[in-house]
Amino acid sequence: MPEFNAPLRDMRFVLHEVFDAPTLWARLPGLADHVDADTADAILQEAAKVTSQLIAPLNRSGDEEGARWQAGKVSTPKGFKAAYDTYIEGGWVGLSGNPEFGGLGMPKMLAVQFEEMLYAANSSFALYSALTSGACLAIDAHASPALKSTYLPPMYEGRWAGSMCLTEAHSGTDLGIIRTRAEPRADGSFSISGSKIFITGGDQDLTENIVHLVLAKLPDAPAGPRGISLFLVPKVLVNDDGSLAEANAVSCGSIEHKMGIKASATCVINFDGARGWLIGEANKGLAAMFTMMNYERLSIGIQGIGCAETSYQNARTYARERLQGRASNGAVAPDKMADPIIVHPDVRRMLLSIKAMTEGGRAFASYVGQQLDLSKYSTDPQEQQDASALVALLTPVAKAFFTDTGLDSCVLGQQVFGGHGYIREWGQEQLVRDVRIAQIYEGTNGIQALDLLGRKVIANGGVALRLFTAQMREFAEQPDKPYARQLLQAVQQLEDLSDWLQARAKADPNEIGAASVEYLQVFGYVAYAWLWARMADVAQRSMPDDPDFYAAKLATAKFYFNRLLPRTASLEQSIRAGCESLFELDAASF
């Protein structure tokens, strides 16, 4: 049975050496007094134990058994409830939550490392608490003090869970056409009626209550997305003293039978005059919900990194042990019947591709976490503003690029196994199935690409983009930085391509949709180039301290610049071909 071992050495390298996170935390009010390098290392060490020893062993059995629905109730697979009870005893749900309501208040830079471990160990299990963390974020940012004090403490504790109820059978990306209604009640609450689909964790047997965040429309709401409000609708109503009362008019109509993440319940949730409470202002619910959605988009991106890490660990072990054929330049293991397959160039290509993209993604996720911490805790208004702009720019990249390349990495890891990769007990085919959804939910990757190019680059004239590329240039223009020439060329390529698309979109708006996916890919590869150059810089300077680790880091950086970054050339050529060929075929001819 495959085993997961958290990549603690690499996580510490990224946090402490590449980003010097403890120094950052020491200057940020709200973090300085309760987190330092030792605290972070202790949390990561304990997280590694919890994910590898408690949660990972349930991954395959959970996939085989799946979540079950019977008579309106959902049961999670055997072992999930006991593991969840142990999990919440450690306070993991509230790791980065508001300490005022029982959260631990840890920085996002640390939380993203934990989330990666969780998804790597068991994506289905991870989703139950990921939705709760996101719901807590939206409640903390937008709800009334009374709602916060009632709902946040038991949610951070993990006794209550959260869900996000957006999608309806006829309304996916176009939320402006939702039909769920909210009628005002005399006591200030609302009566919520409608049906939502694809609700992750919409029902389960892990917690005593589920707090649904529901998009609905008031009777006098304007048409379209400007008429959406956000409501808090608990599965079980809550008394004034915080104890549970009677069941609300909320029911689970069914669960979906899915390709992957089978132990995660994906539900149809019906609201039949359920009592709910307004979060934030009326008709401004979409903005409030995006607080949760943007958190979830980064989290789901990290699912791509986590699954890729597990695929890599499995494939690496197999490649070292599996004997097949001889090395092309002579036997490496002449005392054995054949050489291990890791001697073969194509196997090395696959393993290095996974390694380079996963470690690059880990660094990028940490960078986005850094910007989230700065946007929340910095006392410098300009620094806070810049960090918020970078978070908005980079969130769609993180979600889409992590998951696109995460699927690629899981497929490559499966390929290393040959025929055994197609067999269930090796675990590789499950990773392919589990990670595939990450390109779809929380906004498909095509939507993320449109958001990046259309809203975050072209709509504001590339202001946030220049903020990001300025950081890359600043690094590359320092003396003696590794890969500086290649990095500067890549940055210039991204800026030139952005300017070209800005001009083209004025003449034909279809250019945005035609180029957006390839543009996001170029953006991702260039961003990783910057991070790989930074990692190589640290590795060069630190080589005597841990020669094996840093030599591996330098070799992987070289592979990235030589074999992966050049992909941007073909992507650019595709973009500059324009949108015309997409529209020469009429719909009837497809």
553, two tokens: 């880091």
The reply to whether 580 belongs to the active site is no
CA distance 19 to 42: 18
**What SS3 class is residue 559?**
helix
Task: Give the contacts of 375 (CB within 8 A, at least 6 positions apart).
Answer: 384, 387, 388, 391
> What Rg do the C-alpha atoms of the chain give, in angstroms?
24
Closest by CA to 372, choosing from 283, 297, 447, 440, is 297
CA distance 370 to 391: 9
Helix axes 510-542, 381-416, angle to 10 degrees: 90
Question: Is there a contact between 371 and 393 (Cβ–Cβ < 8 Å)?
Answer: no
What residues does 193 pair with on adjacent strands? 181, 272
Question: Is there a contact between 44 and 114 (Cβ–Cβ < 8 Å)?
Answer: yes
Task: Give the contacts of 342 (CB within 8 A, at least 6 positions apart).
Answer: 316, 319, 320, 348, 351
Give the number of other Cβ atoms within 10 Å of residue 334's Cβ: 8
Task: Give the contacts of 7 (CB within 8 A, at least 6 positions apart).
Answer: 309, 362
Give the number of other Cβ atoms within 10 Å of residue 517's Cβ: 20
CA distance 160 to 88: 11
What residues does 579 pair with on adjacent strands? none
Question: Is there a contact between 378 and 370 (Cβ–Cβ < 8 Å)?
Answer: no
Closest by CA to 34, choosing from 99, 88, 114, 116, is 99
Give the number of other Cβ atoms within 10 Å of residue 498's Cβ: 20
267, two tokens: 């539900």
Give the number of other Cβ atoms within 10 Å of residue 173's Cβ: 12
Q: Which of 115, 116, 168, 442 is catalytic?
A: 442
Task: Give the contacts of 200 (CB within 8 A, at least 6 positions apart).
Answer: 127, 131, 163, 164, 264, 265, 266, 267, 441
213, two tokens: 């965040």
Question: Could you give the residue numbers annotated as active site?
Answer: 442
